């Protein structure tokens, strides 16, 4: 079985935000039906604790609906903004929700990354073409597919008595683009937007 090492990219992404100076980070949690939501969220909580980062319940918004568009991220971010709780960065469940969040921030008069940094997850093709380009965790899906196919072919060629199971881990990486920077003095916080 080929799996992604989820812990490492989440460590790198949260560490990136901490290194930049972000302490008040909002999170877009995946939909309840998504198989990745609980494992990814448990990993984020663990990594945040290890980094000494506090996750405020008021800065967590769960994506709702099953639309594969930026709309759930847009709606969840509007709720975060409506709570009037200050934060300087947002870590989104996936790139689509990060793109929706960026639109909600623009509509609220906030600039990414000057007022709010945004990190996505997946590195979908359009992530690099956002304005600014989205900082995101790249899941090596092609590498996973190629490795799975090669492993399967290798096992088919071997006799059943030699066949061994096991997991093959591939490691995602953080792709830093234009949606993250240090929190700036004088930057507008979402709680300050009227």
Residue 50 located in a structural domain:
yes
Mean pLDDT, 10 residues at a time, over the chain (194 residues)?
69 94 96 90 93 94 94 98 96 97 97 97 93 90 60 63 59 92 81 61
Residue 156 located in a structural domain:
no
Query: Which CATH number belongs to the domain containing residue 87 in this structure?
Result: 3.40.50.2300
Structural domain including 113 reads: 2-139+171-186
pTM for this entry: 0.84
- For the chain, how many structural domains are there in total? 1
Tokens representing residue 98 in the block: 């990060």
> In the beta sheet, which residues pair with residue 3?
169
Please state the φ and ψ torsions of residue 157, each to the nearest 5 degrees. Answer: -70, -30
Measured distance CA(149)–CA(141) in Å, rounded: 12
Residue 52 located in a structural domain:
yes
Residue 159 located in a structural domain:
no
Tokens representing residue 60 in the block: 């967590």
Predicted local confidence at residue 8, as pLDDT: 82
Residue 153 located in a structural domain:
no
Nearest Cα neighbor of 83 from 57, 113, 102, 107 is 57
Residue 111 located in a structural domain:
yes
Residue 40 located in a structural domain:
yes
Tokens representing residue 161 in the block: 């008595």
**Residue whose pair of structure tokens reads 């690099």 in the numeric block:** 128
Torsion angle in degrees (nearest 10) through CA of 171, 102, 83, 117 = 60
Judged on CB neighbours under 10 Å (0-12, 13-18, 19+), 55 is middle
């Amino acid at each position: 079985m080929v799996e992604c090492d989820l812990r490492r990219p989440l460590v790198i992404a949260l560490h990136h935000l901490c290194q930049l100076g972000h302490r008040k980070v909002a999170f877009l949690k995946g939909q309840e039906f998504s198989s990745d939501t609980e494992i990814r969220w448990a990993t984020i909580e663990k990594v945040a604790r290890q980094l000494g980062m506090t996750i405020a319940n008021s800065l967590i918004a769960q994506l709702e609906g099953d639309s594969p568009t930026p709309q759930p991220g847009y709606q969840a971010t509007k709720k975060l903004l409506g709570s009037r709780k200050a934060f300087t960065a947002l870590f989104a469940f996936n790139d689509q929700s990060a793109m929706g969040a960026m639109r909600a921030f623009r509509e609220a008069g906030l600039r990414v990354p000057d007022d709010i940094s945004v990190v996505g997850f997946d590195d979908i093709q359009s992530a690099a073409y956002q304005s600014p380009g989205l900082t995101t965790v790249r899941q090596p899906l092609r590498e996973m597919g190629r490795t799975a196919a090669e492993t399967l072919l290798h096992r088919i060629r071997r006799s059943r008595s030699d066949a061994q199971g096991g997991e093959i881990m591939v490691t995602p990486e953080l792709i830093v683009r234009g949606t993250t920077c240090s929190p700036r003095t004088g930057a507008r916080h979402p709680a300050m937007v009227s």
